[in-house]
A and B are shown apart, each in its own frame.
Chain A
Amino acid sequence: MNDTHTSPPHHSHEIHTGTVHLPAPTAWPILLALGVMLLVGSLVMSLWIAALGAFLLVVSAVGWFREVLPHEKHVDVPVQHEIAEIEPSRAGVARIEVDETHRAQLPLETFPISAGIKGGIAGGIVMLIPAEIYGLLRYHSLWYVVNLLGGAGVAGWANPTPEQLTHFRLGAFITANIIQGATTLLVGVLYGALLPVWPRRPILLGGIVAPVLWTGLLHNVLGIVNPYLQQNIDWWSFAASQVVFGVVAGYVVSRTGNLRRLHQAPLAIRLGVESPGLAGHKTEEDDRQ
């Protein structure tokens, strides 16, 4: 694979020759494949096939080994090229006229991933408080909420009674931890990516409006998906713990990374996606310098 070609000088229309190393063609892979297949297939055929397969396997494995050790076999292919100055194939490029900012910008600054992770962890821990308060007050049990979240991990819990839900179950505990950990981490990272996008008051939108929205969505979807589970969830304390999560996670994220708001940039740029083809002659790079 190594190219032994020498570095090209900067003259046009001069033909440079070089050689390219390519791996040498070899028949060992196909023989090895045939050996493997015969060996596997001999289970439905006969022992003779197995013997033939094993023989092919050993011979071609050795052959292959000698092909790559001590040196991989190569063929040298001579090549020629010349250096050319490129003329544009078309006169101009049409642009979509959009004011202010240029195209193809990545976000200038985002929160570091660690900020999102920290926010997710912090929010995930603090949101336990309202949920557990509810569980303790209403059912006098630490495990009620845990079981509701992690019930998928317990085999044979078709429709457990609230009484059953108040007792500790290892499966539910593990599952609940996995779900809680994964979800809060991911949402935390998402916060890290999205909070710079919100124009202003990130805590209000990210901390309160978004959790209320997804709680509402979940409330409605769960009615279709699993009405029984929906009845067992106290939606007010559920919403409260979501909002607590949102506020804490959002606060931790925006505290950890200190960055300028990008409210002057268009949405596509704030989202971290390019908007190629947007015209204008002022780039964010220019702004910064």
Chain B
Amino acid sequence: MDAPSTPIPSGIEGALDVTPQTRPRATYLEVLHDWIVTVDHKKIGLLYIGFALIFMVVAGLEAMAIRIQLAVPHNSFLDARSYNRMFTMHGTTMVFLVGMPILFGFGNYLVPLMIGARDMAFPRLNAFSFWVSAFAGIFLYFSFIGGLGLAGAGTAPDIAWFAYAPLTERPFSPGHNVDYWALALLASGIGSIGTAINILATVFCMRCPGMTLSRIPLLAWIYATVSFLVLVAVSPLTAAQVMLLIDRYLGGHFFDTQAGGSAILWAHFFWIFGHPEVYVLVLPAFGFANEIIPVFSRKAIFGYPAMVAATVGIAFISLGVWAHHMFTIGMTSFGNTFFTLSTMLVSIPTGIKTFNWLATMWGGKLRFATPMLFSVGFLFQWVIAGLTGIMLSVSPWNWQLHNSYFVVAHFHYVLVGAILFMIFAAFYYWYPKMTGRMLSERLGKWHFWLMIVGFHLTFDVMHIPGLLGMPRQIYTYEPDRGWTLLNQIVTFGAVIQAVAMAIFVYNLVHSYFAGKAAGPDPWDAWTLEWSTPSPPPAYNFPVDPVVASRRPLWDLKHPEDPDSAFE
């Protein structure tokens, strides 16, 4: 904050990377070996992203199965048990095998580049964390065929993603399906904590000269905050999984209600993890917006310190709101009041962020390339998701609508409308850096417009059956409830989104081979990753960069008017 104002540099210099880029031809086996033994943060980041994309398609197909089943009353596309498995695996996969890995992937790739480092602080730990998460994902899906699998159905978990006790105890869930769920999350938790430690150490210890904490890109600030949240939020989940396993394997009584154990304690432990987890997922999306919106508005981000304070504030408040998931379990009226008010408090820092993004765009020279389109969609949908969140935070309203499709619509508005949209924006923005090729803008526009139409058809309409009383997690419903048409519209919207996803995947593959060459800096951006060739070489920077402002490449491009003169 009080960095001494540095004099305007007399002549701005840059180092041009002229290392000859000769690539020896390698066999497929050699390439595979390279990727398996790599400790390079960029390759590990790409592994994370690729792994998450595969699971995104899998979990998307599960969502389609759910929507097909609900399209007509008394449908027999899925039976009740398979339906339970579908929504359990859809939720678990999307949160633990898609959301966290994809965000960690971008973090791994971008954070060292943005702060001018050559690698993460602990490169080997980084590889370990990824592989543990990857094996955990494979292990979770092995449950479909593994163990004491029943014919066709397997033993996939069917306990919903929050796995409330005592359903998860041995007497109610014999067999191994709960064990698969708990063990997979335990292992992926180890990976998440490892990566979080790594990102924190990277942001604090690997910055290039001049990159003070008040100059690091907001994305790096956000990843540091998210990593802290992961440390204090995922660890309780790990502890709770250990307790569950003690119950199931050693005959413990933590959540065994017949021996005095408490089912509510599990709910508390789960949501102490579960609510900060939402912010673990959404904060990186904010981080992408912090980088993309300024570049496409041609203005520096508005209110950098306020943005940092809001980020830290969100993380802080998010640790004290978990019981708003539990209003219907029953609390004292004081408890209800506390958690309602603390939940409403979240809207202050998020409001600061929203206004700062708008202020960044205000008066800027907007370029509506695909990343910006997705960012604008994100802004709009994030506000609506926040408003339904405030509605749900009021306990009497929550008593009416808890576990209805209103809640499902609300959190999908956050997860899809905000987070997934920003992940798409990040793909369009950084794909050129990662591969050296631009994604097709034409396909990107198709993707965006189909996605926005499909999204609003699905999730706007989904609020209504919730208001009409349709509970979540039911595998079918009676035709006389008046939910049929609404569900059909929702399913129709889901199909449109599936088409948009297919276009996106096609775009990713097609552009890799046939896309326009990107060059090092296709968007005329300002952060350090754009000072490297695309894709960046293994060593990132031939010499350590030295920076004097928040926008080092702006200084380089505009020596007549550098930011460093004003810090």
A–B direct touch, CB within 8 Å, in complex? yes
Instruction: Mark the stretch among B158-166, B421-429, B479-487, B555-563 that contacts chain A.
Output: B555-563
**Which residues of A lie under 8 Å from residue B302 when comparing CB positions?**
273-276
Known: A88-B557, A283-B566. A25 touches B34 (CB 8 A): yes
Instruction: Mark the stretch among A73-81, A127-135, A245-253, A257-265 that contacts chain B.
Output: A73-81
Q: Contact check, A30 vs B306: say whether CB atoms are below 8 A apart.
A: no
Closest beta carbon of chain A to B138's beta carbon, Å: 8
Q: How far is the CA of A25 from the CA of B41 in the complex (A)?
A: 11
Q: Contact check, B333 vs A44: say whether CB atoms are below 8 A apart.
A: no
Q: How far is the CA of A28 from the CA of B12 in the complex (A)?
A: 44
Q: Contact check, B557 vs A81: say whether CB atoms are below 8 A apart.
A: no
Q: How far is the CA of A225 from the CA of B337 in the complex (A)?
A: 6
Does B139 make an interface contact (CB < 8 A)? Answer: yes
Provide the main secondary structure of the chain A interface. mixed
Instruction: Across the interface, name the chain B residue whose C-beta is closest to A27.
Output: B37
Does A228 make an interface contact (CB < 8 A)? Answer: yes
**Which residues of B lie under 8 Å from residue A272 when comparing CB positions?**
305-306
Most interface-central of B190, B338, B537 (chain A CB within 10 A): B338
Instruction: Mark the stretch among A116-124, A155-163, A205-213 that contacts chain B.
Output: A155-163
**Which residues of B lie under 8 Å from residue A86 when comparing CB positions?**
12-14, 556-557, 559
Q: Contact check, A26 vs B395: say whether CB atoms are below 8 A apart.
A: no
Does B332 make an interface contact (CB < 8 A)? Answer: yes
Instruction: Across the interface, name the chain B residue whose C-beta is closest to A30.
Output: B131
Q: Contact check, A15 vs B333: say whether CB atoms are below 8 A apart.
A: no
Q: Contact check, A84 vs B128: say whether CB atoms are below 8 A apart.
A: no
Does A37 make an interface contact (CB < 8 A)? Answer: yes
Encode contact with B along A22-63: 1 for CB under 8 Å, 0 otherwise.
111111111011101100110111000000000000000000
**Which residues of B lie under 8 Å from residue A45 when comparing CB positions?**
146-147
Q: Contact check, B13 vs A84: say whether CB atoms are below 8 A apart.
A: yes
Q: Contact check, B566 vs A26: say whether CB atoms are below 8 A apart.
A: no
Closest beta carbon of chain A to B192's beta carbon, Å: 13
Q: Contact check, B561 vs A93: say whether CB atoms are below 8 A apart.
A: yes
Q: Contact check, B136 vs A276: say whether CB atoms are below 8 A apart.
A: no
Instruction: Mark the stretch among B16-24, B62-70, B377-385, B443-451 that contacts chain A.
Output: B16-24
Does B95 make an interface contact (CB < 8 A)? Answer: no
- Contacts of A1-30 to chain B: CB distance below 8 A: 1, 3, 5, 8, 10, 15, 18, 20, 22-30
Encode contact with A along B111-153: 1 for CB under 8 Å, 0 otherwise.
0000001110001110110111011100100000011000000
Instruction: Across the interface, name the chain B residue whose C-beta is closest to A75.
Output: B538
**Which residues of B lie under 8 Å from residue A83 when comparing CB positions?**
13-16
Instruction: Across the interface, name the chain A residue whose C-beta is closest to B524.
Output: A89
Q: Contact check, B333 vs A229: say whether CB atoms are below 8 A apart.
A: yes
Encode contact with A along B418-448: 1 for CB under 8 Å, 0 otherwise.
0000000000000000000000000000000
**Which residues of A lie under 8 Å from residue B305 when comparing CB positions?**
106, 272-273
Q: A86-B12, A276-B299 are in contact. List 6 more A-B contacts (CB 8 A).
A: A32-B128, A41-B139, A45-B146, A83-B15, A154-B332, A226-B334
Q: List 20 A-B contacts (CB under 8 A).
A: A8-B543, A23-B39, A23-B124, A26-B124, A29-B131, A30-B36, A33-B134, A44-B176, A79-B542, A93-B558, A93-B561, A104-B567, A152-B332, A154-B332, A154-B334, A221-B344, A225-B341, A273-B304, A276-B300, A277-B364
For the complex of A and B, 6 pairs with smallest distance between CB atoms:
A151-B334, A273-B303, A33-B131, A104-B566, A29-B127, A29-B128
